[in-house]
């Protein structure tokens, strides 16, 4: 593969296999016929407000009804205007009111093997206690609460507790550095932080509170820090007047706080993600529209049935965890498995052990994980009875057909439909995906749009392209789950998403649509790369590198990687230092400290100069080619002269 996007195009050309849904699956499916889908799709397209008004009335609880379904003045949308609802109420009380109080909401397993089960009623009590605790710490409606926690039930509980009182959660994936936490705290003016003493990862303990302490030294707006005891080691430093223990402040509460009636457009959460510039942006989602989108897309795509045991393996630090660990499945009254740790601890069969033990019916994971399982070997899978599975999902990046086939055969026993779901932090929930009861799938394609999603593929002048031609993927109409803005930066919101193709949402992805109306995502149009399903801006990594004293200039590109999808390749020019292994180590450490381990460059290459065009622009395409041809050995430290290559290219 030359690069990931052209790799996918190649597959498009040769991929002709079609996998119809198993007849048995279709019989009971939530969307059980093409006609039903077409009816839903046409209704949402032709009578947007009528369709979503009815959906919202049926599928959310309203303290006060809305009077207008959608107020749309590009780029600003308001949904279910003047209505009052509450996402925590929809996830908990509504289910309890409907007789599901004793149904298991969360089946949880920690990495060391400890377990917990919470019914919907028990979960509500825990959420109320946490909400009462947050109130006691001074959290009011509209305040931002930063959350930096392991995948324990308390993470979901904290999110729902914020939602219950109208506080805005900002979950920060627990792999980010102190610098990244501080940046996010400051950007959002976070008032309170929730964390834990540590987390388990592959049998080791990561001292989360230490990282948070370092971050809080640079986060002047944070007044209080609530600390969950997860690890139980001695010597956790607690700052007098600022830090309090969860077991002192939360567990001592009564646990019956009613959910606050909130405006439909009340901010529900901020989630930071990388854009094409160096600074991550706080994507804002609001209450009613997001909640409805998460719920309905969950029900349609995962074909939710009462006796399902559903497992989404994502961490709540990412949007997939927000929409498909917490808000979607819980609003739908699902029983969800939540797992704290690594897929290869204590052994490479941990996921399959969990599927067998909990009789998981629906598994939603990422292609990067699937590729790791393939590498670890089939014997880890074959040891386990996976016959409970009936549906498989994939998210985060395109799934290459080889991985798709392995997932289908080895995990699904050739019996389970695969839903390859395309969406983004900004879209709030799934936008394009097979519907498992009706869509014949093609490996590598996210197939067709969900009701309410009107995709359009356009060229650089904004004109629609012919079928089978690649172009920029836009969404032509607002949808309830769409982002409402970038926290504190209206201008960037308008410029980044709504200006290049006026009035249409620019996704940042390239795509093509084939003769059957199936969509194929072909990679990004901007400088965003996708490393193990995690979104990173190359400029963010470059900024981290140049903040090191030895670095003059840095250019970062993605290169294809069998496991990660894309790996991070950095080209750097240096001053006053030898281009040696020692410096490479130092730079890697520096990037980890600036951003977090997930941004650690896979290759670092020292160069005398960076290849630039006559107008001074770095020739990224050339660097991508060089990085892709790079031998895996990688670590010979020489100073290359790429300017020669650049001048050759310039003459082309
Ligand atoms: O490029 C697309 C890729 O991931 C980007 C969104 O990343 P993020 O906001 O972190 O959300 C990831 C989880 C939804 C998209 O712009 N992407 C995500 N899912 C797919 C995908 N690319 C191809 N196929 C997918 N199924």
**480 and 597: one domain?**
no
Specify the residue with its C-alpha closest to ligand 1, atom 6: 424
ipTM value for the complex: 0.99
Q: Per the domain annotation, does 426 fall within a domain? A: yes
How much is the pLDDT for 5?
38
Distances (CA, A) of 418 to 47, 214, 305: 30, 43, 17
Output the CA 523–ligand 1 centroid distance in Å: 9
**275 and 420: one domain?**
yes
Give the dihedral sign, CA 308/97/325/442: positive
Output the CA 273–ligand 1 centroid distance in Å: 12
Task: State the Cα–Cα distance between residues 590 and 506, nearest whole angstrom.
Answer: 33
CA atoms within 13 A on the CB side of 599: 29
User: Once rounded to an integer, what is the mean pLDDT over residues 45-56?
Assistant: 98
**220 and 334: one domain?**
yes
**590 and 618: one domain?**
yes
633 band by pLDDT with thresholds 50, 70 and 90: very low
Query: DSSP assignment, residue 358?
Result: H
Q: What is the per-residue pLDDT across 153-183, written as a single tens digit (0 to 9) for each? A: 999 999 999 999 999 999 999 999 999 999 9
Query: DSSP assignment, residue 400?
Result: P
CB-CB contact of 455 with 528 (8 Å): no
**537 and 499: one domain?**
no
Output the CA 396–ligand 1 centroid distance in Å: 4
Cα–Cα nearest to 344, from 320, 364, 373, 321: 373
Output the CA 323–ligand 1 centroid distance in Å: 14
Residue for token digits 């919470």?
Answer: 118
Task: State the Cα–Cα distance between residues 511 and 457, nearest whole angstrom.
Answer: 7
Judge whether residue 225 has pLDDT over 60. yes
Distances (CA, A) of 286 to 202, 269, 484: 35, 7, 7
**505 and 623: one domain?**
no
Residue for token digits 């109306």?
Answer: 517
Kindly state the tokens that stand for 372. 């790791």
Question: Where among 479, 511, 543 does a domain terminate?
Answer: 511
Distances (CA, A) of 184 to 220, 418, 546: 12, 36, 21
Cα–Cα nearest to 541, from 504, 486, 594: 594
Shortest-distance atom of ligand 1 to CA 534:
10
651 band by pLDDT with thresholds 50, 70 and 90: very low
Specify the residue with its C-alpha closest to ligand 1, atom 11: 424
Q: Per the domain annotation, does 581 fall within a domain? A: yes
**236 and 295: one domain?**
yes
Output the pTM of the full model. 0.94
Annotated binding site for CoA: 201-204, 320, 344, 532, 592
Specify the residue with its C-alpha closest to ligand 1, atom 10: 535
Task: State the Cα–Cα distance between residues 110 and 133, nearest whole angstrom.
Answer: 24
Task: State the Cα–Cα distance between residues 104 and 88, nearest whole angstrom.
Answer: 16
**472 and 590: one domain?**
no
Shortest-distance atom of ligand 1 to CA 399:
24
Q: Per the domain annotation, does 406 fall within a domain? A: yes
CA atoms within 13 A on the CB side of 487: 28
CB-based contacts of 447, cutoff 8 Å, min separation 6: 420, 432, 433, 434, 439, 441, 518, 519
Q: Per the domain annotation, does 14 fall within a domain? A: no
Q: Per the domain annotation, does 15 fall within a domain? A: no
Kindly state the tokens that stand for 617. 């622009």
Residue for token digits 């498909």?
Answer: 324
Output the CA 397–ligand 1 centroid distance in Å: 5
Q: Per the domain annotation, does 264 fall within a domain? A: yes
**217 and 291: one domain?**
yes
Specify the residue with its C-alpha closest to ligand 1, atom 13: 396
Task: State the Cα–Cα distance between residues 280 and 536, nearest whole angstrom.
Answer: 9
Q: What is the per-residue pLDDT across 293-326, written as a single tens digit (0 to 9) for each? A: 999 999 999 999 999 999 999 999 999 999 999 9
**422 and 382: one domain?**
yes
Q: What is the CATH number of the domain that holds 400?
A: 3.40.50.12780
**453 and 556: one domain?**
no
How are beta strands 267-273 and 309-312 bridged, if at all?
unpaired
Q: How many domains does the chain have?
A: 2
CB-CB contact of 192 with 244 (8 Å): no
Question: Where among 467, 484, 511 does a domain terminate?
Answer: 511
621 band by pLDDT with thresholds 50, 70 and 90: confident
Q: What is the CATH number of the domain that holds 558?
A: 3.30.300.30
From 365, 403, 423, 536, mutation site for ligand 1 pocket: most ligand atoms within 8 A of C-beta:
423
Q: Which residues line ligand 1 (CB under 6 A)?
A: 273, 319-320, 395-398, 420-425, 446, 507-509, 521, 524, 530, 535
Average pLDDT along the chain: 94
How much is the pLDDT for 1?
29
Output the CA 2–ligand 1 centroid distance in Å: 20
Q: Nearest 10 degrees: CA dihedral of 392, 397, 400, 405?
A: -10
Kindly state the tokens that stand for 101. 């109080």
CB-based contacts of 154, cutoff 8 Å, min separation 6: 126, 130, 196, 228, 246
Give the dihedral sign, CA 386/387/389/395: positive
Q: Per the domain annotation, does 302 fall within a domain? A: yes
Q: Per the domain annotation, does 334 fall within a domain? A: yes
Q: Could you tell me the residue range of the domain that residue 80 belongs to?
A: 23-442+449-511
**208 and 352: one domain?**
yes
Annotated binding site for ATP: 396-398, 420-425, 509, 524, 535
């Amino acid at each position: 593969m030359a690069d990931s996007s052209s790799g996918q195009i190649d597959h498009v050309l040769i991929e002709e296999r079609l996998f119809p849904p198993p007849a048995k699956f279709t019989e009971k499916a939530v969307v059980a016929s093409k006609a039903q889908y077409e009816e839903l799709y046409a209704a949402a397209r032709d009578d947007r407000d009528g369709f979503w008004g009815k959906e919202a009335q049926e599928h959310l609880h309203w303290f006060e009804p809305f009077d207008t379904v959608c107020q749309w003045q590009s780029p600003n949308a308001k949904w279910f205007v003047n209505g009052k609802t509450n996402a925590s109420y929809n996830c908990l009380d509504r289910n309890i009111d409907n007789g599901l109080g004793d149904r298991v909401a969360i089946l949880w397993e920690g990495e060391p093997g400890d377990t917990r089960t919470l019914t919907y009623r028990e979960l509500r009590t825990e959420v109320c206690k946490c909400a009462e605790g947050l109130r006691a710490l001074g959290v009011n409606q509209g305040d931002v609460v930063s959350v930096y926690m392991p995948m324990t039930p308390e993470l979901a509980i904290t999110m729902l507790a914020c939602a219950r009182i109208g506080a805005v959660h900002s979950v920060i994936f627990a792999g980010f550095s102190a610098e990244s936490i501080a940046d996010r705290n400051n950007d959002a003016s976070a008032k309170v932080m929730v964390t834990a003493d540590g987390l388990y990862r592959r049998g080791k303990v990561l001292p989360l509170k230490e990282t948070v302490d370092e971050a809080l030294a640079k986060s002047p707006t944070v007044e209080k820090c609530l600390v969950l005891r997860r690890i139980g080691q001695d010597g956790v430093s607690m700052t007098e007047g600022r830090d309090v223990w969860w077991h002192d402040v939360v567990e001592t509460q009564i646990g019956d706080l009613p959910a606050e009636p909130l405006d439909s457009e009340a901010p529900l959460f901020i989630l930071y993600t990388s854009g094409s510039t160096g600074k991550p942006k706080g994507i804002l989602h609001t209450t009613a529209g997001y909640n409805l989108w998460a719920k309905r897309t969950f029900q349609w795509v995962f074909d939710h049935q009462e006796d399902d045991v559903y497992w989404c393996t994502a961490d709540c630090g990412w949007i997939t965890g927000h929409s498909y660990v917490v808000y979607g499945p819980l609003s739908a009254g699902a029983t969800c498995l939540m797992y704290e740790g690594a897929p290869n601890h204590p052994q490479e069969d941990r996921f399959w052990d969990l599927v067998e033990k909990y009789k998981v019916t629906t598994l939603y994971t990422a292609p990067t994980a699937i590729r790791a399982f393939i590498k670890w070997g089939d014997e880890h899978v074959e040891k386990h009875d996976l016959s409970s599975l009936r549906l498989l999902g994939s998210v985060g990046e395109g799934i290459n057909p080889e991985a798709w086939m392995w997932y289908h055969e080895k995990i699904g026993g050739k019996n389970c439909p695969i839903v390859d779901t395309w969406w983004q932090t900004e879209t709030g929930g799934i936008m394009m995906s097979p519907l498992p009861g009706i869509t014949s799938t093609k490996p590598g394609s996210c197939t067709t749009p969900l009701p309410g999603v009107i995709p359009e593929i356009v060229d650089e002048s904004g004109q629609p392209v012919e079928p089978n031609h690649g172009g920029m993927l836009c969404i032509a109409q607002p949808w309830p789950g769409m982002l409402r803005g970038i926290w504190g930066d209206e201008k960037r919101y308008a410029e980044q998403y709504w200006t290049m193709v006026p009035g249409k949402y620019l996704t940042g992805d390239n795509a093509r649509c084939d003769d059957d109306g199936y969509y194929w995502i072909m990679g990004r149009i901007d400088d965003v790369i996708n490393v193990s399903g995690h979104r990173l801006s190359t400029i963010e990594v470059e900024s981290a590198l140049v903040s090191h004293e030895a670095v003059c200039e840095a250019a970062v590109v993605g290169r294809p990687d069998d496991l990660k999808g894309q790996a991070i390749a950095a080209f750097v020019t240096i001053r006053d230092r030898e281009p040696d292994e020692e410096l490479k180590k130092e730079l890697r450490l520096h990037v980890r400290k600036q951003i977090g381990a997930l941004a650690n460059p896979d290759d670092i290459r020292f160069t005398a100069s960076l290849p630039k065009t006559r107008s001074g622009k770095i020739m990224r395409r050339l660097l991508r080619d060089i990085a892709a041809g790079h031998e895996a050995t990688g670590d010979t430290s020489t100073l290359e002269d790429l300017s020669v290559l650049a001048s050759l290219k310039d003459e082309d």
